[in-house]
Structure 1
């Protein structure tokens, strides 16, 4: 057996299948494209589903990939078992109706025994009970000892998910034990005891299961195999678990150095080391593929992983922000295979550091909340914290369950774990509902995606806005039709079109499709999952027929405005890089006829000066009237030419590169102006943050920019008219008015103060005594929170052994303040508890220290009830 590193095994596998005429594709991003059923890619075949279902035509009938995957279903087991991980790589080779069992079985045996050189007496093969065909091929085309082949049932060796394509599979296993296994029963027992490890699954998709449960043979069966790269690496490197293989051990060791501990000396710290190594690897790949921390969906998966890693760093005694240092080690080990990691390392580290800092802040406020919860539990003399409260800490403060358990344990308390799990399940259900339902393999069965593969539309809209064409398909609602009548809405597919279909952030064209006997309005234009161009229309008069000759006309003015905005987006991207730095990358854009929106990676709000410089640079380049040049080239040529790219459609042979003079060069499939001068004018209208490390700029161009200035001008004119001055005096006039208002506010405040002084005596006279403590409650009309606090302070200073609770109502709200003297506190008075009770009666909340507390309420009519409750609370508190 060769001792091979993980990177070495990956390359050997892909090269082997390239030698068998497979097209090697780079790993697809972790974020699924066109698949609402999946949160994240979780298997090698997941991104290839449309090829299996026939919705898309594969770039080759034979494909091989090493696919990055994330699974978080067993996150609680990560670090505790030998093989659970959230991030893993799946080696796979796939045949879409090309080769079948006759080819893959001997290839698999060749790779395992001749490339990896695994000893044949360490290998076993399982097949489906009834798959005589697979048995015969194993025996006839390889030199496996037939006594090493075991037949197992449906649970082990048959792959199906509900209806649709399914079939038997054959698995290859490695034996870590000694002696030969001689029966199926003995084999199953050895598997359960982890002596035997399955490492490669060959799925033979040969049936289509219908709604009645019948298995119908597929005319063109498929091959779909999967081999876990980490698992085969443990076999090749002879390690006990996946954390000890070369790449992951390197990450784990770097954490151990930071924590100043050794791996393998203490099980508890080993678990933390493994969790951090696994989670930081997942986090690095997720951020690289465009996921950002948030409280839902993919962002929540990322935040949870990041916070678990940070938390385990604290458990190991690492005090400082440290996760971004581990990112360096991940990139060092995986950057050669996944070059995007090296390209985006600074951005990844920045997002990680920001989130870890944020977690450090929330963890401290979470501990304060937990202390309050513990106090409440202890006051009631109970030993269990409710699952709802533990879940609130988990959900709101990102507080891991084990941290809550640990802190409670120190106090001899525990969590009501069943109700915590119920809350967790409710949240999972919400997440599932948000993700949307899906049928088999996540394919979208809408009528749009059922348009025949034989129908193709040629797009000529880069150079022409009008052309003749033939109607090739019509649909209405969810049916194909031969006629679309007056007043009806549907879709038209033609053999040729000048209409741009929505793509790359640019909206689809609108316009008209006309025939001899009809007129249809094109309301939108999109592409279906297979890339076919679809016109969404409303028939204004007459009727459209299949095979009819038509004229297609794009709305010229709207297209012109979209093109202005799109070219301006490219120029803005370049200006941002020039002025803010090379870390700026596009993370999203939207271009329509009214405006442009551009999201980009940057970690602070832009200053007014930066915005002015960006706007000035774009306008300078507009006025230099650069030619906008488009060139079609290979992806390699595009990369070498220095074009900026988000290589999303990685597998197209040719790409369009759009250059604005020497200023900007980008990959783009959108429509553009012929020269930068046509943009006319560029104006930024807003800049804001949309997520951690992501900023957004909105801007207008051309006549929309002129309109923007006209509107601003009108506001200035109307303001001057209202203030009865000319435009030049506007600022002075506003300043003098503000000074006048300040003087009046001061006057009002002084008058209120005099009124309050008059009421002090009345308040002091309303004193009652409870268990030797003087208690004053009083409702003062229309005082703000600050004035109310000052008044309570004065009253307290004139009391001995007492507590004062004041309220004030204004604008349908109530403010409360409570203050107590030092000796009253010593007798048991606690303003925080008093105010909490009083405010809750008035529909509010708040709290504070024993000697001072504030709160608010929403029910002014309940104020007197709140103040009456004060006496009851004081009586219970005073010893």
Structure 2
């Protein structure tokens, strides 16, 4: 049975049993404690913890999930993966244990022709929490499961919580006996490879307190919840493994095609070296599993709007992609691999997620750009590794330091296994213990940072109480001033009866014209008048779904809860905000018109007079393309395209082709904003102009990269655009006046001046170099003779003219060395103070000097520390820079001492 059919059967079973089918939340979830959705119930947490009232008594979903804590274990066993799908059914104070068990058993064991999965009930085991006699009785008395196939387990295994204070409860897990080929007899307490867990039923009936110890179960259970809930999770990949008759999740229909294609590219045969036991996994099999898992994970993350970056979600994606690419490299494939593998994963996943096929142009652009970037990183990292290897060998070492390996890994993204491989090729080992120590310290810092940020869900009970009185109707689409009533005043999380002048307070009104920040549009500004009192509105947010909260300061008078009020949005602010938001839609449409449909928005921000828009694109936009985009946008304004709004179901919006923002979740009824009909059609709750011409004008400010495959455009709109153009016009006029040419000739005149400047700088450089080299004869003539145990040495150790650095100082030192008496040992050390108080320095030793045991690199290593500088090089030439030029006299004395006695 294919995964897409498992999905359909699961949702269909629970829909027939009264559950609302809820779409999967996007992987990048808006939660301060999470980078990604890491469990099937995440989007339902506000209902479980009582922050919001659930819109349905029972629900079902197939949730996309990412878990990366054990990413380094992926592939080493067949049980670890980063992306998986959790099929779940949920009850919010509706049914409880008996129905949860019955519904799971029916779907698991009902025949395939009756819509079930057809599992053999005689091979199913159940685990329960130690003292959950009720669950034991349900399994035994109602389902008929023998007592010897019901296993009691402790809190670590069969008691669930979110890891923070809040709901918790015992759980019951379903296991399937795969037979003696997979392990020994005795149930899940004996062998969890043979007995595979495929469903977990959580009976959310208790409330837990804060942790009292280091263990995950070190917390008190405070009592029972007023409403008991059900949260279950059936692993899609686990069920597919069972129903497709394969060994593990890497061999199911959604992952095996990628693994097979990777094996073909590498000329390998998966499984040729190993059996079922994880300990028998051959390195090639491990790498192929890494590729199969990570390519699918990258596909799903990019599909949900994540782009590679150096922090946060983007860093997780980048790391996953680079692990897949380097695994293929270690399998012997040097060429780009994602163009071969990503389409295979798309075809495997599209039956369940058709949007992956329709949006693949954007996905592949981002993915392939990231692979190109990483391949360049590998090239540069190889150069850095070669340097570290050479330095290690020059010092007589046989082991690359852990610090060098960590720097390559942490700074350059160079993988440790590639460092091990390439160091071994050059006869070196790597200090893996030192590397692991540094990695552990980094992980501890990351965990400490994570712990400092992780808290229980904020106490929003006061806002939930206010929300229970009804939603806050938004009147701002129709009016800027609304008569209303102060429903509540909140300070420090508690309701207060009144607020005095100068106090900050959160205000909830019965209705409001103020737009709450969302969809990239910042909140409105304005005032709320309550009798003789005035509140200045500073921000507007949705504290809980459906409740608009105004953060304000009392400018005058006293505000009393329950009083009548007039809420007034600043009309100039709203006009400019509408221009900016409509301008964002128009620029987005212009991008797609010029660049093609794959240039999809992945984020935006707009405020009065300004907008920025991030979009998927793999390269910089040249000046001509930017001009085309700006022209298409302003042509839309000139044509005065009508702006319309319609409210339709989410399914209807998709049929219309309305564009949605990545990472956003939407209600079943959505607001579609159209500009010129199909010319621009997007899901949006923001405020907009009535006709395109009301935007005024749009002026692009620039375009830049914000990550692999992701670009950003910025623009002014309306009066701000006009002011910007006026400033540029005045600038051009001023340049024209200074240059004494017409405005249209300014670019040519500036280009001519720049070229003249370049010519002058080159001539100046030539004269400066000639002046520097002209002192070579004088310096050579002043060479002193230093008597050593190996004979006399000609030494020039001097401070050259200030400001001589780089190639000039090197050329001078070599010229002086060449002028010394031939056949005699000669050493030159020149230093030149720089404008920052440090010094550049170069040492040069001729052949006779090297034969006498003198080395330029060793001379620099003796000289540089006296200055507090760093340097190095080879036996004939070495150089460095930095330190304190005030210590040159002392440093030159140390250099002379080295020449006199190099030992």
What TM-score, normalized by structure 2, do the two folds share? Answer: 0.90
Contact kept? 1:49, 1:442, Cα under 8 Å:
no
Aligned-partner SS, 2:620: coil
Of 165, 168, 177, the residue aligned with 1:163 is 165
Rounded to whole Å, the distance in 2 between the matches of 1:281 and 1:877 is 60
Counterpart check, 1:685 vs 2:701: yes
Report the CA distance shift for 1:837/1:339 in structure 2 as closer, same or farther (over 3 A).
farther
Rounded to whole Å, the distance in 1 between the matches of 2:773 and 2:798 is 14
Rounded to whole Å, the distance in 1 between the matches of 2:665 and 2:576 is 29
CA shift at 1:313, angstroms?
Answer: 0.9
Matching of residues 686-765 of structure 1 within 5 Å: 686-719=702-735, 734=750, 745=761, 748-749=764-765, 752-753=768-769, 755-764=771-780, 765=782
Of 11, 15, 34, the residue aligned with 2:12 is 15
Report the CA distance shift for 1:451/1:387 in structure 2 as closer, same or farther (over 3 A).
farther
CA shift at 1:768, angstroms?
Answer: 4.9
Residue 216 of structure 2 corresponds to none
Residue 279 of structure 2 corresponds to none
Rounded to whole Å, the distance in 1 between the matches of 2:555 and 2:876 is 76
Rounded to whole Å, the distance in 2 between the matches of 1:402 and 1:313 is 12
Rounded to whole Å, the distance in 2 between the matches of 1:447 and 1:226 is 31
Contact kept? 2:869, 2:882, Cα under 8 Å:
yes
Residue 355 of structure 2 corresponds to 340
Counterpart check, 1:807 vs 2:827: no
Aligned-partner SS, 1:855: strand
What's the RMSD between the two structures over aligned residues? 3.1
Rounded to whole Å, the distance in 2 between the matches of 1:593 and 1:575 is 20
Aligned-partner SS, 1:689: strand
Counterpart check, 1:235 vs 2:242: yes
CA shift at 1:151, angstroms?
Answer: 2.2
Rounded to whole Å, the distance in 1 between the matches of 2:362 and 2:714 is 22
CA shift at 1:256, angstroms?
Answer: 0.8
Contact kept? 1:816, 1:854, Cα under 8 Å:
yes
Greater shift, 623-632 or 406-415, is seen at 406-415
CA shift at 1:37, angstroms?
Answer: 0.9
Counterpart check, 1:795 vs 2:816: yes
Counterpart check, 1:217 vs 2:220: no
Counterpart check, 1:776 vs 2:796: yes
Rounded to whole Å, the distance in 2 between the matches of 1:182 and 1:374 is 49
Greater shift, 671-680 or 226-235, is seen at 226-235
Aligned-partner SS, 2:176: strand
- Residues 159-201 of structure 1, C-alpha deviations (whole Å, 9 max, x = no match): 2335321111111111233599999xx5465236x33222211
Residue 420 of structure 1 corresponds to 435
Rounded to whole Å, the distance in 2 between the matches of 1:374 and 1:164 is 53
Residue 502 of structure 2 corresponds to 487
Report the CA distance shift for 1:415/1:180 in structure 2 as closer, same or farther (over 3 A).
closer
Rounded to whole Å, the distance in 2 between the matches of 1:244 and 1:635 is 35
- Residues 419-449 of structure 1, C-alpha deviations (whole Å, 9 max, x = no match): 4333223323443455564667645659666
Greater shift, 866-875 or 150-159, is seen at 866-875
Contact kept? 1:39, 1:435, Cα under 8 Å:
no
Length, aligned pairs only: 871
Contact kept? 1:53, 1:443, Cα under 8 Å:
no
Rounded to whole Å, the distance in 2 between the matches of 1:355 and 1:444 is 41
Counterpart check, 1:611 vs 2:608: no
- Residues 132-164 of structure 1, C-alpha deviations (whole Å, 9 max, x = no match): 211222223223233322222323222233532
Residue 24 of structure 1 corresponds to 21
Residue 471 of structure 2 corresponds to 456
Rounded to whole Å, the distance in 2 between the matches of 1:564 and 1:789 is 60
Residue 87 of structure 1 corresponds to 83
Contact kept? 2:362, 2:600, Cα under 8 Å:
no
Contact kept? 2:305, 2:662, Cα under 8 Å:
no
Rounded to whole Å, the distance in 2 between the matches of 1:305 and 1:834 is 46
Rounded to whole Å, the distance in 1 between the matches of 2:16 and 2:833 is 82
Contact kept? 2:459, 2:493, Cα under 8 Å:
no
Q: Mind listing any 5+ residue stretches in structure 2 that lack a counterpart?
A: 111-115, 211-218, 274-281
Residue 143 of structure 2 corresponds to 142
Rounded to whole Å, the distance in 2 between the matches of 1:45 and 1:877 is 71
CA shift at 1:864, angstroms?
Answer: 4.0
CA shift at 1:340, angstroms?
Answer: 2.7
Residue 113 of structure 2 corresponds to none
CA shift at 1:591, angstroms?
Answer: 0.8
Residue 256 of structure 2 corresponds to 249
Of 420, 444, 450, the residue aligned with 1:405 is 420
CA shift at 1:210, angstroms?
Answer: 4.5
Matching of residues 208-607 of structure 1 within 5 Å: 208-210=207-209, 213-266=220-273, 267-378=282-393, 384-409=399-424, 414-432=429-447, 434-435=449-450, 437=452, 442=457, 445=460, 451-607=466-622
Contact kept? 1:36, 1:435, Cα under 8 Å:
no
Rounded to whole Å, the distance in 2 between the matches of 1:381 and 1:95 is 68
Rounded to whole Å, the distance in 1 between the matches of 2:382 and 2:759 is 46
Of 176, 179, 191, the residue aligned with 1:177 is 179
Contact kept? 2:180, 2:194, Cα under 8 Å:
no
- Residues 502-521 of structure 1, C-alpha deviations (whole Å, 9 max, x = no match): 11000100111112221111
Report the CA distance shift for 1:736/1:264 in structure 2 as closer, same or farther (over 3 A).
closer
Report the CA distance shift for 1:461/1:846 in structure 2 as closer, same or farther (over 3 A).
farther
Aligned-partner SS, 1:551: strand
Contact kept? 1:97, 1:222, Cα under 8 Å:
yes
Report the CA distance shift for 1:473/1:815 in structure 2 as closer, same or farther (over 3 A).
same
CA shift at 1:687, angstroms?
Answer: 1.6
Report the CA distance shift for 1:815/1:610 in structure 2 as closer, same or farther (over 3 A).
same
Report the CA distance shift for 1:141/1:396 in structure 2 as closer, same or farther (over 3 A).
same
- Residues 550-576 of structure 1, C-alpha deviations (whole Å, 9 max, x = no match): 011100011101111111111111111
Contact kept? 2:864, 2:891, Cα under 8 Å:
yes
Residue 125 of structure 1 corresponds to 126
Rounded to whole Å, the distance in 2 between the matches of 1:348 and 1:425 is 34
Report the CA distance shift for 1:100/1:556 in structure 2 as closer, same or farther (over 3 A).
same
Report the CA distance shift for 1:30/1:876 in structure 2 as closer, same or farther (over 3 A).
farther
Report the CA distance shift for 1:702/1:379 in structure 2 as closer, same or farther (over 3 A).
closer
Aligned-partner SS, 2:528: strand
Residue 783 of structure 2 corresponds to 766
Report the CA distance shift for 1:219/1:752 in structure 2 as closer, same or farther (over 3 A).
closer
Greater shift, 292-301 or 822-831, is seen at 822-831
CA shift at 1:838, angstroms?
Answer: 4.5
Report the CA distance shift for 1:856/1:216 in structure 2 as closer, same or farther (over 3 A).
same
CA shift at 1:484, angstroms?
Answer: 1.0
